[in-house]
Amino acid sequence: MNRESLIKQYIELILVNGLGLNISDPNLSGTPERVAKMYCHELFKNIGVEFPAELMTVFPNKDSYSEIILADNIPFTSICSHHLLPFTGIAWFMYIPKDSLVGASKMSRIISHYAARPQLQETLTNQIVKRFEEIVNPQGTMLIMRALHNCMICRGVKTGENAGLVTSIVTGAFKENLATRNEALQLLRITHGK
């Protein structure tokens, strides 16, 4: 039995035996199959899969550009491994190139790749930067992610939709040089118009 069929079978068991729902109801009849497809082909499709280096299009830094490059307001959705509920937010990804420049969409692509698995937001932030640096070898990287966690919004403490979680990682030039870090933070203010 393949993974998708197995998940479908267990979702059906949860709905029928665990929750006592009637899956012959037209609104539930296809739910086990829909959930299995969503898990296998969307939300959890990259479990155990590293971001392929060949998808990180890099170009020679022929002009020796050595200033901050910022991709801002990158949307992402991942799944909290504690309650299997989504956390959704935006990311700001910066790097200072050394020998290579990265295609403009690739910072969004690596975030999207690592988001497709159950995890903590802290883990997601770390995985993205670690893999980016392995492939690109920049002078420094800064990633800031802010997300709203449905496990806090709709259950438990019930924070509503204003209380988010912010994680960040700074490496290289951003960590070692306070002026560079302050410049990066100023760029973040610009992207918010503040």
Domain residue ranges in the chain? 3-43, 59-192
Tell me yes or no: is domain 59-192 CATH 3.30.1130.10. Answer: yes
Q: Residue 46 corresponds to which tokens in the numbers above?
A: 């990259």
Over the range 171-181, which residues count as b (16 or more CB within 10 Å of their CB) and which as e? bbbbeeeeebb
The confidence score (pLDDT) of residue 194 equals: 55
- Predicted confidence at residue 163, as pLDDT, reads 84
Report how far apart the first and last C-alpha atoms of the chain are (Å, whole number).
54
- The pLDDT, as a whole number, for residue 152 is 85
Average pLDDT over every residue of 67-96: 97
Rg (CA), the chain: 20
**Cα–Cα distance list, 155 to 85, 117, 158, 159 (Å):** 10, 21, 5, 9
Residue 1: predicted pLDDT = 81
pLDDT at 8 over 90: yes
| pLDDT tens digits, one per residue of 33-54 | 999 999 999 999 999 999 999 9
Residue type, 134: E
Q: Is the pLDDT of residue 100 over 60?
A: yes
pLDDT level of residue 155 (50, 70, 90 thresholds): confident
Q: Among 26-30, 137-141, 158-162, which stretch is predicted with the lowest mean pLDDT? A: 158-162
Closest residue by Cα to residue 95 from 106, 87, 85, 84: 106
> Is residue 157 scored above 90 in pLDDT?
no
pLDDT class for 103, splitting at 50, 70, 90?
very high
